[in-house]
Structure formats: C-alpha cells, structure tokens
Structure 1
Amino acid sequence: MINKEYNRRVVLKLSGLAGLGIALSPLLSSFNFKNEILLRKIPSSNQSLPVIGLGTWQTFDVGSSAEEMVKLVQVLIEMDKLGGTVIDSSPMYGSSEGVVGNLTRKANLNNSFFYATKVWTKGKDEGIRQMQNSFKRMKRQQMDLMQIHNLVDWKTHVKTLRDWKDRGKIKFWGITHYTDGSHEQLEQVIKAEKPDFVQFNYSILSRHAEKSLFETIQKNNTATLINRPFEKGSLFRATKGKDVPDWAKEYDINSWGQFFLKFILSNELVTCIIPGTSKPHHMIDNMMAGYGKIPDSKIREKMYNYIKSL
C-alpha cells in the first residue's frame, strides 16, 4: 500500500475529513501529491519501510469508545492512503493493541500495515503468554516486529525472539527504550545480540543519540524506530503563535510538525519515526513530512539553531 500517487481532488474526496469540520486547505495547498513517500531499507533485510509511521501510546488506548473509534479509523485510513505502514504498540498501552487489531480489520486494512509490538514482562513463560495475547489482540498470525520493551528481562526474551524469528512467527526482533540514560545499555545489547531494530528517543532538542548510539547502529546494521519526536508536545508549545520560517519551505516544510520530523529524517540512519496521534488531520500532516526534499547537514544545523533561539 505504498508508493501511491495522489492529486488534490482525489485526496479531498477520499479523506472524508470535511464532515469532521477539519480545514485541509492549508495543509494541501503546497503539497506535491505527485511525489512518493520516502522509503528506507531495513539493513538486515531487503525490505524497506516508509519513513513516517504511527505510535499508539495513549492515543489508541480508548477502550470501546465509539466516538474515539470513528476518529481512529480515519487516522488509519489517512495513513494508508498517504503510504504509511508502521504501527507500533505494546501490552503496556492499555487497550491499544486490541483497538489496532479491531479497527484495521473493520477498515479492511489488516494486511496493509507493518505491525510492531512488544514484550513487557519478566520470565520466559510469562513473556510467551503475553506475546501470544498480543498476536490475538492485533489479529496477527505473524508479527512483523516484536520488541523487548524498555529492555525488561531482555536476556530471557532474546532467546525466545530468535527462536520465533527462525520459525517464522515474527519477521524481525528488536529492543526499545525512551530515555537518554538508556542509550549506553542499548548500545551494549546491539553490539552483543545484533537485533534487527532498536527504538529510542530522538528529536531536534534531544540529540543525545548522536553521541555514539547512531554510530553503533551504523556499525551493526540496525534499523531504527524513533519515539518522542515532539518531546511530548513541548516543541509545539515552544513554537505556538510563531510562523515556520520561509527558508524552511524550500524543503517542503509547511508546518512545525513537518519541521521537527524532517529534522529527524535529515539523519539518514533514521529508518522510521512513529509519532502518536488520534487526529486525522495530524496524521496527514505527519505523513507529509515523508514527502519532498529532506534537509542536508547544513540546513539541519540551521533548523536546530533556529529552534534553540526561540
């Protein structure tokens, strides 16, 4: 479901957002739908992924709320239309896994995405039980990516994940964390175990991963999922009421969300970013960061210095 071409008329017709009272014109007016979303390769395979995906922490933990389900179905539809595939979840995220499974099936999109979730418990048997439950909730026979959440009991779970990959139950396995203080341990596990993926925090104002984590990733051919790209919303609070600088528009940046995401994508070792959202128009805006020009190293530092100066 990637590498599609869209024109303005088709996207407006398909989006279905008019009924939600969402003004799309500012987003669509300067977007070139003839482009294709940027793909980056998973180093341990020949498979590539679109560079913008979807995180589900908090945003998909809606239980059985019909009102919230309507919006989340639209989020998934917009993501699919604009070429996104990666959906990241966890048993830690309340009802999120089940909501993802139910809504992707409801929208007839259950085979359109790259499904990633996690094991978040201690002990081999408990880990297997939890992962089997995740398969059921997300309605998968095979999981694309199973990750060890925040490195909880990783030495135990890595053995199970290697076995499951060999047997085809999962395509890839990985490790995750969300703090700067975890980066050194992530590096140690990457060097010792060679996971297919590592997920961690990285943003325009949180660049600790550049000290040595990215170097370790490059040397060990590890794919990356980036969490917390907006610093839990603090980046938007810092730029509230301010216009995106005109020079940024030369890189197809037309919103602050795209500014922050394209800064991250300017690092070629970033495979995919997984911002969370429950709003269709935010999903569209996030996806647009995967299109058009990507800043080079010079513009990357200009972006950083601009935000630091605000």
Structure 2
Amino acid sequence: MNYRKLGRTGFSVSEISLGTWQVGGKWGDPFSHANADKILNTAVDAGINFIDTADVYGDGESEKAVGRLVRSRSERLFVATKCGRRLQPHTAEAYQPAVLRQFVEDSLRNMQLETIDLIQLHCPPTEVYYRPEIFGEFDRLREEGKIQHLGVSIEKVEEGLKAIEFPNVTTVQLIFNMFRQRPPELLFKEAARRNIGLIVRVPLASGLLTGKFSPQTHFSADDHRNFNRHGEAFDKGETFSGVDYETGLAAVEELKHVFGPQTPLAAQALRWILMFDEVSCVIPGASRPEQILSNLQAAELPALSAEQMQAVREIYDEKIKPMVHYSW
C-alpha cells in the first residue's frame, strides 16, 4: 500500500481507502454487521487505514461498525464521518450550530470514540458555505477535543472553492473520476496552494466504470441507481456521476479499447485518479470483502501513459463533458 498526506491534517493515509455507504451490504439491502465486520477487517489487513462513513449510512449502523473496528484493532486508523444529512428538510435554514453539535455528539456515541479524526459537512446547500457561524462551531468542538479536523463533502466545484476560504477547513471530499473531469482545472490547484487534503468519492461512477454493466443490468427498487437517475431523492450527480446511463455505457466500451482486457477497467479507473498528485486518497465502496482486494489492484498498476491519459480525456470531451462539466 502507498500512503499520502491528507493535507494539513498531517495524517498519512492509504491512497486507496474505504467508503462505507454500502459497507453492510448492497445498496437497498438491510445493514449486515457481520458483513460489515468482514469488509472492514479485510480492508485493514490489506493496509487501508482511512475509513469514511456518515451518520446517515445505515441510519447510524455504519458508524457503529466503524467504531467497533477501531476499538478492536491495534493499528492507527483514521475515521472520517459526516453530519448534516439527517436534517429534514435538508435546507440551509435547518443548518444551525447547536444542531450540528448534537450530530457530532451522536456520532461519537454511535462509534463509542472520544474524538473524531475528521468531521465533514455532508453536502450542505450552497448557502451554508456563506455562513461563518457554522464553521466557527467546529472550532469550539475541536477545542473541546470532540473533533480533530473539519472537512467538507461537496457537490459542486464552486462549493469547494468557497469552503477552503475558511481557515479551519482541512479537507474537501468530492466526486472525481473519468466521467467527472472538471476539478483539476481550478479546485485542485487551489487545494494544493492551501495544503488541503482531497478525498475522492464515487470513483467508479456508481459502478459504471467497472465495465460490468449493460442495458439489461437490473437495479433493485431501493437502489439509488434505479430511483435517483434524475435527482428524485438527492443530487443527480451522485448517481452515475450525473451521466446518462446509456451514454455512460457507450463511453465505457471505448475505455475498454484504450486499456485492453488484461486488467479490470475498475482498477484502471482508480489508477487514473491516482495519477493526480493533489489527490490524497480515493474511497471506493465495497459490499463484500473481495471487492476490497479487487480495488487494491490499482495500487500495483504502473502509471498510465501519456497516450492513455489523452485517450481518456478525448472520450470525456466527446461523450461526457456536455452533460456534466458545467453542472458540478
């Protein structure tokens, strides 16, 4: 495993880490603590030391599983969780310092930990990034020892640029993959200048970039890849990175020709992300332990060639850019 600095946190984190949205099972399935324990321990055994969760994943069950992992292992594990999405309705007005403080304390109870390494605002409405009192509350939580660092999880590049103006924001979590190529144009440069850690989520575009989907692939009724394709439940960009499914499939076929059949496309897609030095870590999810080991193949691959990088960019420019580039 290779490790990179997570910005100003100083944490040395595994460049391939773990996101736990579906760690208890596939999307839509009931949370399974037995399965979660297998996935989490497989990850740590393989050298992963950064785990990203949220209070809404499995309605707190993911946090409980992550806390159990940390308490059971001797390795130094870094835990990132998120707060804000429990607000109903999820509006800018609902974001209040006292409410966010309560969410942090609830997460500490879920995980049975004394402090959270990294707490992240969980894709709040854009207006929240213009309210200093929200960010100031996390300074107080840090002084009390309840958190170590503050980060943000964003939908839009503009939100990240605004967030890192606050001096206590140390990380930005964002969607970045072969189908979402806008961030390097400005956000990556500003993050590097300010020593901000970049955590990449949705690296495989909700599975599209595994190359395993087809027009006949069925997603269950409770799977966001079925019910959120047009943003019915949350931001459309979280599902297939905002790419139309059929267009995405066509682009994937072209990507397969670029890389050939020797290595799974998923591993090449992860390796593509790691070609960007500004990225601290990428957090693919896993619904079973074998997916952890599959994802880790990316760390062993050689660097992509200039020709491969250019080919990926050309496929993006031709097929994907018009539908996503200026929306997020």
TM range (shorter): 0.7 to 0.9
Return the offset for 1:224.
0.7
Residue 66 (structure 2) aligned to one of 94, 100, 105: 100
Residue 40 (structure 2) aligns with? 76
Counterpart of 1:163 (choices 140, 159, 171) is 140
5 Å-filtered alignment, 1:272-283, equals 272-283=281-292
Q: Secondary structure at the match of 1:199?
A: strand
- Please tell me the residue identity of whatever aligns with 2:7: P
Secondary structure of 1:80's aligned partner: helix
The 5 Å alignment of 1:143-222 reads 143-151=116-124, 153-154=128-129, 155=131, 156-177=133-154, 179=155, 182-193=156-167, 195-222=169-196
- Would the aligned equivalents of 1:76 and 1:104 in 2 still touch at CA under 8 Å? no
Stretches of structure 1 that go unaligned for 5 or more consecutive residues are 1-36
Decide whether the 8 Å contact of 2:54 with 2:81 is kept in 1.
Answer: yes
Query: Could you tell me which amino acid in structure 2 is paired with residue 97 of structure 1?
Result: E
RMSD value, Cα: 3.1
**In the TM superposition, what whole-angstrom CA distance separates every residue of 1:75-96 from its partner, at most 9, and x where no partner exists?**
1122111110111111222232
The answer to whether the 8 A contact 1:90-1:97 is kept is yes
Q: Which amino acid aligns with 1:59?
A: V
Measured at CA, do residues 127 and 45 of structure 1 come closer, stay the same or move farther in structure 2, by a change above 3 Å? Answer: closer
Using the alignment, how far apart are the partners of 1:287 and 1:42 within structure 2?
A: 19
Please say which of residues 40-49 and 289-298 is displaced more in the overlay. 289-298
Distance 2:166 2:269 in 1: 32
The alignment partner of 1:148 has SS state of: strand
The 5 A counterparts of 1:247-258 are: 254-258=263-267
- Confirm or deny that 1:224 pairs with 2:233: no
5+ long unaligned stretches in structure 2: 88-94, 214-248, 320-328
User: Are residues 188 and 299 of structure 1, via their aligned partners in 2, closer, same or farther at CA, if it must alter by over 3 Å?
Assistant: same
2:106 to 133, 137, 152: 133
1:48 aligns with 2:5: no
CA-to-aligned-CA distance 1:184-236 (integer Å, 9 cap, x gap): 12201212445110001000111121221112211211001111111111223
SS at 1:197 equivalent: strand
Identity of aligned residues (%): 21
Displacement, 1:297?
A: 5.0
- Report the 3-state secondary structure (helix = DSSP H, G, I; strand = E; otherwise coil) of the residue aligned with 2:177: coil
Matched, 1:270 2:243: no
Paired with 2:13 and 2:69, the residues of 1 have a C-alpha distance of: 22
Q: Is the 8 A contact 1:50 1:290 kept in 2?
A: no
CA distance in 2, matches of 1:288, 1:141: 34
Number of aligned residues: 264
Mapped partners of 1:126, 1:247: distance in 2: 48
The whole-number CA distance in structure 2 between the counterparts of 1:297 and 1:160 is 45
In the alignment, residue 148 of structure 1 is paired with which amino acid?
L
* Match of residue 285 from structure 1: 294
Q: Per-residue deviation at 1:303?
A: 4.3
Provide the TM-score with structure 1 as the length reference.
0.74
Quote the Cα distance in structure 1 between the aligned partners of 2:192 and 2:270: 20
The alpha-carbon distance between structure 1 residues 41 and 248, as it changes in their structure 2 partners (threshold 3 A), is farther
